[in-house]
Amino acid sequence: MIRNQRGQAAIFVALMFNVLFVFFAMAINVGLVVHDKINLQNSIDLASYYAAMKQAEILNVIAHENYMIRQSYKLLSWRYRVLGTMGLYRNTIHPVWSGETSESVFAPAGARPTICVTYKPTWQEVPPGENLCNQENLRIPPLPEVKVIAGFLGINQGIAALSRQLRAQFDAQCEKHGAYNWWYGMSILYAFRIDQRNRNQVITGLAQNLSQGSNGDFTDLDGNSVLQGARETFLKNLTYANRTAFQNGGEFTLLNSLEGVAVDDWLPKIKIIPTVLYTDVDNNPGCFASPNPIQNLPQRPGARDLLNGNLQAGPLFQWKEDNFLQDSDYQYTIGVEKNPWYVAYVGAKASTKPREIFFPLGSGVKMIARAYAKPFGGRIGPWYGVNWEASAKHSDGDPTDALMAPRVNAGSGISSGNDPRRFPNYSRFPGDKLGLSAKLSLNALDGMKSLGISFNSYQNIKADLTNGGDNDILAWDGSGAPEVRSYEIAAITPDLFDVTYYSIEPNFVENYFPRLQANRDKLKIPSTTPIRPDLGFNGSGQPSYSVQKQMEFAESKGKRRGEAYYFIRDRAHLLTGWLPAPGPFQYDVAGAMNNFGKCTLPDDKMKFRTPGSCVAGGGRTGYSVKIVGRDSLLASGHEVGGNGTGGALANPPKGEGW
């Protein structure tokens, strides 16, 4: 019998140590697995956030280009209803001359505006003392012709010759009357047609970039692959174990919700056919003026000769017809509307199989992570109608802008050219019923009485736009900026309607414009399409023009009347969304409401630029990004169509594992 028991405790401790080590190793492994799983999910969250951020930037550019089309339409409307009718000062006196600024309609010109630009003192080339535009439907009988009764008297011959000369001058002025009015009307229409076409081509190219990629990939504004960037973001945030396992057989895939969706389905154009009336003179003796649709050339042969001659208007003849060009991007539009049932979002999915340090056997635990992120908070622009059914191709119902021209869709009829809704006009604020037919709007800019305009300033608005020239569609004379250009800039600056329905980037020219230019081919923008900055740019004279420059210019020049309170006066009022608290980058709720619309720290003097041009206080503009749950994308009760009825998204996550 062995009586010595020394060493038994050591054996017991050794046995217990093995058990404790196994538990310890298991606890460490479980901790590492949990850590790697959390790391994998965080990394895939960041990858989806990165890709959605790139998607948001493209949507921001689309939204801003869409707003530029509205500015072009506002410019057309102002030229038509203000400059085009300002010569009236008999019977119906134009508010510019009467000084009226009331919110009442200017009629009858407000109901049926007719272009007439041969008046003094506004137009410099018009002979002194002449104004064939001083009243609607002007009727001037023919000058009597003095007959030569006593031909042997030289004085009778002289009087007769003088009467013939006066009649010839009278007839010549009447012929110029119709020619100049048609030329001006067609020029401003064509300028709008070209500008909206160019900007629509940029929008379509960017939208195709989002829709026509493969494997979830698309190109960002810097010309880089978003799939590659998201993958690199994912890799850089992995733990060593996850990264090693991923490099030895892991998977990473990206889902772009707009891939394979036709652009016309998620971003249809709002096609319209605006028309204008111009004052023409018939072929009867005298000078009998009346409104004539722009589709009709002036009646007098001499007026047509003038159009083909000094006015060089021949190239405009082909654009006078208002037929619906269904498949042409030359068709007038007011931009695009975003289908709410097609949601822009990005999904990212990855798998790894890390082998932890205390795995003596096996290949590790396979882990899969998935995340979705989406742009939110931005506004590409208003729907044309207030409702959008889930299965509809476009919005319907009452127009969001009650003063906008009727929408024209394939297969629908075109309203009459005398339909007052087709005369260019727009709402200054939500619910506006008057727009530029209000006396306040017509006389919203100070100093119009002394404005002197040259016809040459409008000879150039349609030049050099299709080949990337230095100027834009604002008035210019080829060598400088005339005074009327200042009024046009002041007239189109953002108003209450604009900031309600559009995401407006104050400093587009620095935040986005150079990137578009540098990467146009990769972004599917046609090589022949001029990528233009904001209206007001004129080459070397104003290379960095932007909406905030428009607003600063209008305020510094003092053009806008204080009564016209529908203009946005401070660029900080363009900011929307998150409301930062005091101090840079402090995004919380406390005290935020006191800062709304106030930019306490603009980025003007900083080395970097931010969307909205505001670093602190007031918020941001355009789309932000947030992580979303898969269940929300698959839900069937989304009330996004404006009529209170729910429905499922048209592009939910599809495919294996999504």
Mean pLDDT for back-to-back runs of 10 residues, the chain (658 residues): 61 69 67 86 97 97 97 97 87 87 80 85 83 73 53 51 53 81 95 93 96 95 97 95 90 96 96 91 82 91 90 87 71 95 96 76 81 94 94 93 88 68 94 93 90 88 63 81 90 94 93 92 91 81 78 84 84 72 52 67 82 80 92 90 85 89
Query: C-alpha distances in angstroms, 322 versus 49, 96, 186, 295, 648?
Result: 46, 31, 12, 7, 39
Q: b or e along 167-193 (b: 16 or more beta carbons within 10 Å of the residue's beta carbon)?
A: beeebebbbbbbbbbbbbbbbbbbbbb
413: number of Cβ within 10 Å:
9
Q: Is 6 left (phi over 0), alpha (psi -120 to 50) or beta?
A: beta
E-assigned strands of 541-612? 601-602
What token pair was written down for 422?
Answer: 């087709």
Beta bridge pairs of residue 374: 626
d(CA 415, CA 400): 19
- β-strands 277-281, 114-115: how paired? parallel
Beta bridge pairs of residue 271: 333
Which residue from 254, 250, 263 is spatially nearest to 225, judged by alpha carbons?
Answer: 254
Cα-based torsion angle of the residue sequence 372, 375, 381, 382 in order, rounded to the nearest 10 degrees: 50
d(CA 609, CA 606): 7
d(CA 548, CA 507): 6
33: number of Cβ within 10 Å:
17
d(CA 316, CA 185): 11
For residue 285, say if its preceding peptide bond is cis, omega within 30 degrees of 0: no
Rg (CA), the chain: 33
Angle (nearest 5°) at CA 577 between 576 and 578: 125
SS3 634: helix
Given a contact cutoff of 8 angstroms between Cβ atoms, the answer to whether 491 and 160 are in contact is no
Given a contact cutoff of 8 angstroms between Cβ atoms, the answer to whether 92 and 107 are in contact is yes
- The residue written with tokens 């960037």 in the block is 229
What token pair was written down for 486?
Answer: 């200042």
SS3 627: strand
d(CA 626, CA 610): 18
- Residue 411: per-residue pLDDT: 58
SS3 607: coil
For residue 520, count CB atoms less than 10 angstroms from its CB and return exposed for 0-12, middle for 13-18, buried for 19 or more.
middle
Query: C-alpha distances in angstroms, 555 versus 446, 451, 475, 549?
Result: 12, 18, 19, 10
Cα dihedral sign for 381, 386, 390, 392? negative
Question: The whole model's pTM is what?
Answer: 0.90
What token pair was written down for 25?
Answer: 């190793």
- Residue 585: per-residue pLDDT: 47
Which residue from 329, 415, 372 is spatially nearest to 50, judged by alpha carbons?
Answer: 372
SS3 290: strand
SS3 181: helix
Given a contact cutoff of 8 angstroms between Cβ atoms, the answer to whether 348 and 370 are in contact is yes
The total number of residues shown for the chain amounts to 658
What residue spans define the domains of the chain?
9-576+621-634
- The residue written with tokens 């319907």 in the block is 396
d(CA 615, CA 606): 9
What token pair was written down for 361?
Answer: 């056997």
Query: C-alpha distances in angstroms, 564 versus 201, 494, 615?
Result: 34, 12, 30
Q: Is 52 left (phi over 0), alpha (psi -120 to 50) or beta?
A: alpha
Q: Which helix (H) or strand (E) holds 346?
A: strand 346-352
How many CA atoms lie less than 13 Å away from 36 in the CB half-sphere?
Answer: 27
Query: C-alpha distances in angstroms, 620 versus 61, 377, 547, 560?
Result: 15, 10, 15, 26
d(CA 584, CA 28): 41
